[in-house]
A and B are shown apart, each in its own frame.
Chain A
Amino acid sequence: MAKITVNFEKCKGCGLCTTACPKKIVEIQKEKRNRKGYFTSTCIDDSKCIGCAMCATMCPDCAITVEK
């Protein structure tokens, strides 16, 4: 079991994390903007997360915390 938590206000929607996920389950959501106006990233399927932390490794803003 593993999951990521994206800090909603810290994320700048740059999308770098979406290039890193080996399971292709990190995407930019287009539902809600944060206070700075960014669409943030999110994990679209927790059940597939393997806790590899590659998304967090790619994040320039330390916006992703990974638990396993």
Chain B
Amino acid sequence: MAVVFEKPKSMADVTLHYCPGCTHGIIHRLVCEVIDEMGIEGDTIGVCPVGCSVMAYDYFNCDMIEAAHGRAPAVATGVKRTNPDKYVFTYQGDGDLAAIGTAETVHAATRGENIVVIFVNNTTYGMTGGQMAPTTLPGQVTQTTPYGRDPKLMGYPVRVCEMLATLAGTALAQRVAVNSVPHIREAKKAIRKAFENQRDKKGFSIVEILSTCPTNWGLSPIDALKRLEDEMIPYYPLGVFKDENAFPEKEGE
């Protein structure tokens, strides 16, 4: 018998610290599978956020940089502009990308930075104990919306992919999910497309990945998968919001 499924080489051989059933682990593995398949571990530099995945630098075997909260796209820009032949990706959560880091996210997309942004959307601030995120759904109870998010007081959740798809520098804006095997397979294809865009210098690529947070949702891991399907996907539809070359004159260069 031959091994047909095992941990990817670019993923460190350590136990992840994430909660049982947290889908961060699936997403880390998908990124590593893509890096392995493209053979680019030696040429990749990842930028980690502040959030549950702050210690992602211990989980990826490529070079890694820890950025301040929200600043990963700016750090990635500094890396990519001075090392244009390397692959650069950021890995960010709701608060990192869509709250404190909104300016850095939007401007990296505006500039069409040739980077990959992995955006883990689980509608909550996990690391700090489950507070409201820009992606928290209306009515969702969190530590800072104990009576449920009221749009009249807290505004509406932000749909990042749709927003970034309006920018000319965005090459790929795709939303996927990891709550089932078919969804996971689509997610991996999207991540692969994003890295290929970087290889082909097509512009800014973001893959928004709907994820679960069983601990702060107060659900079992399996029930959390169900909440993602029944409550998150209707508000955050899966699909491709933009898929084109943001710099067409560069094709074939």
Contacts and interface: CB of A to CB of B under 8 A. Distances in A.
A38 B225 CA distance: 20
Interface string B4-46: 1111000100011011111111100100000000000000000
Contact of B5 (A1, A10, A20, A65): A65
B222 interface: yes
Interface string A28-68: 00000000001000000000000101101111111011111
A53 B78 CA distance: 39
B21 A15 contact: yes
Contacts of A53: 4-5
A6 B11 CA distance: 18
- Chain B, interface size: which category? 20 to 34
A58 B15 contact: no
A25 interface: no
A34 to B, nearest CB: 11
A13 to B, nearest CB: 6
A65 B23 CA distance: 18
Nearest to A13: B20
A20 B3 CA distance: 19
Contacts of A20: 180-181
Contact of B4 (A18, A38, A51): A51
Contacts of B184: 57-58
B25 A62 contact: yes
A6 to B, nearest CB: 12
Contacts of B16: 60-61
B2 interface: yes
Given A20-B181, A62-B29, A67 B4 contact: yes
Nearest to B3: A67
Nearest to B222: A15
Given A2-B1, A61-B25, A67-B2, 11 more contacts: A14-B214, A16-B222, A19-B222, A56-B5, A60-B29, A62-B6, A64-B5, A65-B6, A67-B1, A68-B1, A68-B4
A9 B16 CA distance: 12
B144 interface: no
Contact of A58 (B4, B11, B19, B181): B181
B20 A38 contact: yes
Given A16-B21, A67-B1, A10 B15 contact: yes
Contacts of B18: 60
A60 B24 contact: yes
B33 to A, nearest CB: 10
B237 interface: no
A15 B220 contact: yes
A26 to B, nearest CB: 12
